[in-house]
Structure 1
Amino acid sequence: MTSQPLEPSPRPVPPGGLRASHDDREAVVERLRDAAAEGRIDFDELDARLEQALTSRTHAELAVLTADLPQVDSPASRPPLVLKGGVYGASRGPGRWEVPGHVIAHGGVGGVKLDFTRVECRLTEVAVEAHGEIAGVTVVIPDGWAADTGGVDPGIGGLTDKTTPDRLPGTPLIRLTGTGGAGGVVVRHPNRRERRKLESNPAQGQVY
C-alpha cells in the first residue's frame, strides 16, 4: 500500500500582501484627492498616484501611496461605542451622533435601542455586537441599508431580521454578531410611527 503524498500547506501571507478590494482602493483615492486639495501634493503627482492606486493589487502597494501623508482620524479607527441597558435602558439616536466602526450593545434589564436613521455614515461597514440579555437589543437602519445577521447566536430570545437586502450603493453594511439571550435581537427598518417623525422633520441631525 503506497502512501499518498502530503499536499503542501499554504504559505502565510506576508504583512501587506493581502489582496486589496475595490473599497480599499477607493479609500486611498479619496485620501489622495484630499491631500491634493490641502496642497500636500501637486496635480501631476496626484494623477500618477491615482493611476497606481487604481491598479494596485495588495495593501502594501496601496500603503506606499499614502506613506508620506499625515494619518487621518477615521471613524473606523475610533474606540468602540459601548451601550449598556442596565436597569433603565439605553439608546443612541435618532438624531445626530457619530458612528464608529464598532458598536457593542448589552441589553441588560432595560434594553438597548440603536437608531441609525438620522446619520450619514461614510463607513463601508459597521460592526454591531449585540447581546440581548434580559430586555433585548433593537437596531433600526434606514431604507437602503442592509444587515448581515449570520454572526448572531439566536439564544432563547431569538433573532428577528425585518430588513430588506436591497442595499443602495455607498451605504454601509451593518454586520451583526453576538447573542440573543432571553430578550432577543431585532434589526429592522423604521416602523410607521418612526417614519411619521422622519417625514415631519426630515432635516433633523445629519452626520458623519
Structure 2
Amino acid sequence: MTSPQEDTSPLPSKDDRETALQRLQEAYADERISHQEMDERLGRVLTAKTQSELAEALTSLPEEHAGTVSTIGAAVGRIQRRGAWRVPRTLKVESAYGRVRLDLSRAIIEYPVVDIELQLGTGGARITVPRDAVVDVEGLRTGLKDLRYRARQPSGPGEPRIRITGTMGTGRLKVRHARR
C-alpha cells in the first residue's frame, strides 16, 4: 500500500466521481459486472482519496459506449444543432471555416457531465446551455478574440455540468444560458 507521501495524484473532483459512477451504472445495466461487483466498486469510487485510487476502481471495466462520443465537423459551412437532440457524453466539434451553433436548452442530456471539445479555425461559435447548467471553460484556448460568458450562480444539486475545452482560432465563443 502506498503512503500519502508516495501517491502524488490529485484528489478526485466531484465531476470525476460522477463520471466514474456513470460508467459503473452503464456496465451494470449492460450486465458486464455483477451486482456484488458493482457494490464493491461503488464503495471504492465513493471513498477514493486520490485519482489513482479512483482509476483502480474502474480497471477492467469496459470502455464507455461508442455512442457516448460523437464527432461533428465541416470544412466549410455551418454546424448547427437545436431542438430535442440527444447530447452525447463527449461531443467533438471540428470546423476549419464556418460558424457553430449548439443549442442545448431543449436537448436531451442524459449525463451529469457533458464535455464539448471545440477545434475551430476561423468563424465563431455560440453555445446556449440549459438555464440551470454549470459551465466550465477553463480548458479552452482562444486565439484573437476573447470568450464571452457570464457565469450564473448554481441553483442547486442535479444541474448539468458542461465542460468546454479545445482551441478557437480567430473566432469568438459566446456561451449563454437559456432564458426559460
TM-score (norm 2): 0.66
The correspondence for 1:20, drawn from 12, 16, 38, is 12
Amino acid at match of 1:147: V
Post-superposition offset of 1:144: 1.0
Larger fraction in strand: 2
1:108 aligns with 2:97: yes
Post-superposition offset of 1:172: 1.5
RMSD: 3.8
Amino acid at match of 1:61: E
- Identical-pair percentage: 23
1:147 aligns with 2:135: yes
Post-superposition offset of 1:100: 4.1
Amino acid at match of 2:109: E
Post-superposition offset of 1:56: 2.2
1:166 aligns with 2:166: no
Secondary structure of 1:54's counterpart equals helix
The whole-number CA distance in structure 2 between the counterparts of 1:175 and 1:32 is 24
Secondary structure of 2:88's counterpart equals coil
Amino acid at match of 2:93: I
Structure 1, unaligned runs of 5 or more? 1-10, 196-208
Larger Rg: 1
In 2 relative to 1, CA 84–60 (structure 1 residues): closer, same or farther, beyond 3 Å?
same
Cα contact 2:104–2:129 (8 A) shared by 1 = yes
TM-score (norm 1): 0.59
The whole-number CA distance in structure 2 between the counterparts of 1:177 and 1:36 is 32
Post-superposition offset of 1:96: 1.6
Cα contact 2:89–2:114 (8 A) shared by 1 = no
In 2 relative to 1, CA 168–104 (structure 1 residues): closer, same or farther, beyond 3 Å?
farther
Q: How many residues align?
A: 172
1:81 aligns with 2:74: no
